[in-house]
A and B are shown apart, each in its own frame.
Chain A
């Protein structure tokens, strides 16, 4: 028994030593001899394992890629979500830059910081103060028009009263300076937001819906011509001696984030061309209408000339060949009735309409004969 165990131990040790020596031999032989052995093992025993490992590596790579792809897709989705707001902000900043270019000098760009408090709708903090040249009663404007006025100034920031503030007033007028009034905030309802009302408009002045109302420049705080809003409708008040109009504001305070603060020395100077003039817009519209009329007039004249040419050629052909009746007898044509030439009307629209009317009247002559054929009809009905 003990002999057998000893024998087994020897075999085990022998196998251990043999395997160890073989392993060391494999380790020390040159690469040129190692490589064929490794290749042979890879191509036989390890072939399915290599395949499995390759599959596992590919799967892992795919999983890693899925994560990165998902991250990229999320980033793209997030960018797409932000794109609209970024576009809007870009548009607004471009307008602000445009306003700055038109103002040329005497303004301070600032950010409007909404406090999100109870009085948030009527006041705002501006990120520019006395050091930047801001003073009390400096007008605050946006590319769209009037925003408010600075009511307190610190060295690095200032506090502005928006047009929604109950104490805010601005002298306003229609774009053609035909009607003047005082603009102030108009709270539509407890939750409906703010509009602007213009009070004290003379009774004789009648403003149409859509008419632009601008600051009049009276009073010295606001320069002339800054858009305040557009007329929505007239509202009835107890003041019978004057009209009151409701305006859609040019600027809604909640949308104000970047503004321009006008310096007081700039307020005294001209503001021509800063905001597009309504009179200029009207003149441009008139020019467009006139140009359209001219084109219409030329087209009508050309059509009339063509129609005349066709009629003349038809008449000439009918004069050259004698007409015959059903029996073959030649009908002697009646002498042509000379009509007085129709005067050419200088207006654009009417000639075309008249030519068409004439043609139509020719085609409905049958009705006249039909009326004549009805016997016993009173003459007055013809």
Chain B
């Protein structure tokens, strides 16, 4: 099976988990499987393509919250592009770096998303961005690393 197909399957699994496991758990600081999927896809493609993937994924997920339409798309676009660009710059590949990517990517996405959404203001927004977003980012990073470990056979590049 080609690396592209395996990457697509992994991407779909993460999307599926986002709409099944996440609402099933119903945590106050939830993990973001869509962001993990985007980051895993972004490091395999060029920054421009990652931006497009991020835009599409963000726009589709925003459709469930029409008031925030565009906010998630912009956040995902920026995060996808940044992940792909940074991956190209550093060429690093280890679990800790991936965890950092997940954490930073999620936090960045939340900052852009809640900033553009304009649903929260003042203390509430600060509490969300300083408390709940880092918590959610940490959970996302933990779950992302765990899933990377579990899905290593599916995500590893094909040996030459």
User: Residues of A at under 8 Å CB distance from B?
Assistant: 8, 11-16, 19-20, 22-28, 31, 34-35, 37-42, 45-46, 49-50, 52-53, 55-57, 59-60
Contacts and interface: CB of A to CB of B under 8 A. Distances in A.
Given A27-B70, A56-B19, A19 B55 contact: yes
B15 A19 contact: no
Given A12-B48, A12-B51, A56-B20, A27 B69 contact: yes
Contact of A26 (B15, B47, B70): B70
Interface in B1-38: 15-16, 19-26
Contacts of B116: 27
Contacts of B48: 8, 11-16
B24 A41 contact: no
B55 A50 contact: no
Given A23-B74, A59-B24, A37 B63 contact: yes
7 contacts: A19-B55, A19-B73, A22-B73, A24-B74, A26-B69, A34-B70, A56-B21
A15 B51 contact: yes
A57 B64 CA distance: 15
B19 A23 contact: no
Name the residue in A28, A37, A40 with the highest tally of chain B Cβ atoms < 10 Å from its Cβ. A37
B41 interface: no
Contacts of A11: 48
B58 A53 contact: no
Given A20-B74, A23-B77, A35 B66 contact: yes
B24 A23 contact: no
A42 B64 contact: yes
Nearest to B65: A38
Interface in B38-90: 46-49, 51-52, 54-55, 58-60, 62-64, 66-67, 69-71, 73-74, 77-78, 81, 85
B49 A27 contact: no
A31 B68 CA distance: 10
A42 B21 CA distance: 20
B156 to A, nearest CB: 26
A19 B63 contact: no
Given A16-B51, A52-B16, A52-B19, 15 more contacts: A8-B48, A14-B48, A15-B48, A19-B77, A20-B77, A23-B71, A24-B74, A27-B69, A27-B74, A31-B66, A34-B69, A37-B69, A56-B21, A56-B22, A59-B24
A38 B52 CA distance: 18
A26 B48 CA distance: 20
Contacts of A38: 62-64, 66, 69
A8 B88 CA distance: 13
B108 to A, nearest CB: 14
Contacts of A16: 47-48, 51, 77-78, 81
Contacts of B64: 38, 42, 46, 50
A53 B23 contact: yes
Name the residue in A16, A19, A24, A59 with the highest tally of chain B Cβ atoms < 10 Å from its Cβ. A19
Contacts of A20: 51, 74, 77-78
